[in-house]
Structure 1
Amino acid sequence: MSVEILDGATIVNFLEDEEAFNAQICDRFAHLDSDHDGRLSYGEMLKELQCLRLLETHFGVDVETDPDELALVYGSLFVQFDHDLNGTVELEEFKSETKQMMLAMATGMGFLPVQMVLEEDSFLKKAVEWESTKLVA
């Protein structure tokens, strides 16, 4: 984890660079697709959904959440990704929904800088890294 400063523009600009965003999506999809069948099952997607940190916390300490409630939340998120409702998430579905989620974060964040703790392999961290390479160039 690292502490980074970002704003909505960081995310939007990263999404608008289709080559950079697509490369990150393809890498993450390939990493999650443990059986290499070109689709993500619920079990494969669950790892990614759990990284979203949907657990309630108080000052950084996790509060125990009802497992049945979490299962419902993860199931509804999976359906959100599975646009054609065939029980798996294909690359284009993963890309489309991830982009929508990131745009929602950008909108919610606005254009004032925010300091955040980011996971090293998160899409937000990738957006910050992308932005820093653009500033250097």
Structure 2
Amino acid sequence: MSVEVLDSATVVNFVEDEEAFNVSIQDRFAHLDTDHDGLLSYAELLKELQSLRVFETHFGIDVKTDPKEMAHVYNLLFVQFDHDSNGTVDLEEFKAETKRMMIAMANGMGFLPVQMVLEEGSFLMKAVELESAKLAA
């Protein structure tokens, strides 16, 4: 983990850079698709959903949450990705929903830069790295 400065433009630029975004999506999808069937089951996507830390309240401190409530929230998140409601998430569904979530996050950030703690390999970290590479060039 590292502390990085980013703004909405950093996130939007990453999502709009088709090559960088597609490579990142394909890499993450392949990593999550542990049975290599080209689809993500609920169990395969659950770890990624848990990494979103929807129950975190402040700087890594987690809330004690009822396991039934947690399961319900993760089911709802899975449904967000499973656009055709067939019980699995294909690459295009994963890409579309990740893109939608990142644009929503960018819209929530506004135009002022913010400091965030980012995990190595996260999509936000990849956005920061892409922006840094463009500035260095």
Q: TM-score range by the shorter chain?
A: over 0.9
The answer as to whether partners of 1:7 and 1:113 remain within 8 angstroms in 2 is yes
What is the TM-score normalised by the length of structure 1?
0.97
Match of 1:4 in 2: 4
Deviation at 1:121, TM superposition (A): 1.5
Encode CA deviations 1:53-73: one digit per residue, 9 max, x unaligned. Answer: 011424542221111001000
In structure 2, list runs of 5 or more residues that go unmatched. none
Identity of aligned residues (%): 77
In structure 1, list runs of 5 or more residues that go unmatched. none
Matched to 2:94, the amino acid is F
What is the TM-score normalised by the length of structure 2?
0.97
1:22 aligned onto 2:22: yes
Match of 2:93 in 1: 93
Residues of 2 paired with 1:60 and 1:46: CA distance?
19
Match of 2:103 in 1: 103
Encode CA deviations 1:106-136: one digit per residue, 9 max, x unaligned. Answer: 0000110000000111100010001100111
Residues of 2 paired with 1:26 and 1:95: CA distance?
8
Encode CA deviations 1:40-62: one digit per residue, 9 max, x unaligned. Answer: 00000001000000114245422
Match of 1:77 in 2: 77
Encode CA deviations 1:75-118: one digit per residue, 9 max, x unaligned. Answer: 00000100000000000000000000000000000110000000
Match of 2:119 in 1: 119
Matched to 2:119, the amino acid is E
The answer as to whether partners of 1:56 and 1:65 remain within 8 angstroms in 2 is no
Partner SS for 1:5:
strand
Match of 1:51 in 2: 51
Encode CA deviations 1:2-27: one digit per residue, 9 max, x unaligned. Answer: 00000000000111110000000000
How large is the RMSD of aligned CA atoms in angstroms?
0.9
Q: Which runs of 4+ in 1 moved over 4 A?
A: none
Aligned residues: 137
